[in-house]
Amino acid sequence: MKGVEIKKDIYWVGAKDWNLQEFHGYATPHGSTYNSYLIMDEKITLVDGVKHYMVNEQIERIKSLTDFSKIAYIVVNHVEMDHSGSIPQLMKLAPQATIITNSAGKQALEAHFDTTGWNYEIIKMGDSVSIGKRTLTFMTTPMLHWPDSMMTYVKEDKLLLPNDGFGQHYCGDELFFKDAPREVVLHDAQSYFANILYPYVAQAEKALQTAASLNLDIDMIAPSHGLIWSGKEEVELILGLYDKWAKGENKGKAVIVYDTMWGATEKLAETAMGVFQDAGIPVSKYCLRTHEMSEIIADFPDAEYILIGNPTLNNQLYPRVAGFVTYLRGLAPKGKKGLAFGSYGWKPGVVKQIQSVFEELGWQTVEPFDEKYTPKSDVLERFKERVKELIALK
């Protein structure tokens, strides 16, 4: 296993997790990578670690380029275990190395590991460290998505190493976006944003503004998960998408999420879908029985209308619907228009629990809609009108 050069004397020395199918409770059907980068300069610098069980792969790639005794710095942009898991082993191999991180990063490393004897250089927002021909500048991005999160910018190479920013859970033979299936990777980038960074859109927007204020000239973004964005066009593409997602801009489409027991709620979902189609509004429909929650959430960033349908069970939300609503509440997407609907046997009003979450998130809503048993044609006509009310919201 060898390191792969991504810029002159800068190498990818990460690991590929082909078998990863789940991360933080969301599906990762394309696996993932844990990207680490070795900068060969007067002071050899390693940026980020990998997950603990892939440390041997990282070690072999580093050994193909240098001896561990020559590593001067290890930059820890983020202490979450998929990036820091290999750090204790790396520090045993390179005890002379100084860890560059921020104060929150130091605290997190000490909370996770035995850090006795480790040397640190603690940086703050905008600080720089010279490693020879290159200067590393650091941008702290707290709560994007941990308190310790930060990004490293290599000025001379116009290279941004943003750790969890701009990544995707995607694993393939490719290392660069330009060599991979475009639509698949863009979908995985949107899924990554929706399932991990959604609660932190304010911080994401602030990070973009901060990067702009620092006048960073970037022609490559090398994240810690997935593929590398290279060239101005690709950099502008992913920065533009993050800007839209962070601001809540959408394409005016609708997403219908539901579960069903005997087909009543499904009939309502199909009726709603027909209303959007007749109005010329793009619409996606997902049954929780057959679709992963994370797959559905990936469709949310560019959606304007969200409809959630529930078949009442034991006077409560149906378990898969309850789970989805809980997941949605944690991610807290903003700026949507919502309609809760469903069916019941003997107790109406359970869909108000969904409505309350919509209201908590600050969404625009119309009155929830539920019907006893199987909806007949007249009920479906009334439901169509409710969906049209949603579309008419300004």
The domain spanning residue 180 has which CATH number? 3.60.15.10
Q: CA 351 from chain center: how many Å?
A: 29
Structure tokens at 214: 């620092």
In whole angstroms, give the CA distance from residue 93 to residue 203: 36
In whole angstroms, give the CA distance from residue 233 to residue 157: 16
The DSSP symbol for 49 reads -
Instruction: Examine the fold and report which residue of 247, 277, 305 is the final residue of a domain before the chain moves on.
Output: 247
Structure tokens at 92: 């045993």
CA 211 vs CA 134, 207, 317: distances in Å: 19, 6, 44
340 and 379 belong to one structural domain: yes
17 and 151 belong to one structural domain: yes
| Number of domains forming the structure of the chain | 2
243 and 263 belong to one structural domain: no
16 and 52 belong to one structural domain: yes
- CATH number of domain containing 259: 3.40.50.360
Give the per-residue pLDDT at 37. 98
Give the per-residue pLDDT at 225. 96
118 and 163 belong to one structural domain: yes
113 and 149 belong to one structural domain: yes
Give the per-residue pLDDT at 40. 98
103 and 149 belong to one structural domain: yes
336 and 374 belong to one structural domain: yes
* Residues acting as catalytic residues: 24, 78, 80, 82, 145, 164, 192, 225
Give the per-residue pLDDT at 210. 74
- Residue 279 identity (one-letter amino acid): A
Q: CA 394 from chain center: how many Å?
A: 29
268 and 360 belong to one structural domain: yes
265 and 140 belong to one structural domain: no
Cis ω for the linkage preceding 225 (within 30 of 0): no
351 and 280 belong to one structural domain: yes
242 and 284 belong to one structural domain: no
| Domain boundaries, position 41 | 4-247
Give the per-residue pLDDT at 336. 96
In whole angstroms, give the CA distance from residue 81 to residue 286: 32
Instruction: Examine the fold and report which residue of 247, 278, 310 is the final residue of a domain before the chain moves on.
Output: 247
Helices and strands counted in the chain (H then E):
12, 23
Digit-by-digit pLDDT tens for the chain (394 residues) are 899 999 999 999 999 999 989 887 788 899 999 999 999 999 999 999 999 999 999 999 999 999 999 999 999 999 999 999 999 999 999 999 999 999 999 999 999 999 999 999 999 999 999 999 999 999 998 877 888 999 999 999 999 999 989 999 999 999 999 999 999 999 999 999 999 888 887 777 777 777 776 778 999 999 999 999 999 999 999 999 998 888 888 889 999 999 999 999 999 999 999 999 999 999 999 999 999 999 999 999 999 999 999 998 888 899 999 999 999 999 999 999 999 999 998 778 899 999 999 999 999 999 999 999 899 999 999 999 999 999 999 8
Instruction: Examine the fold and report which residue of 204, 228, 247 is the final residue of a domain before the chain moves on.
Output: 247
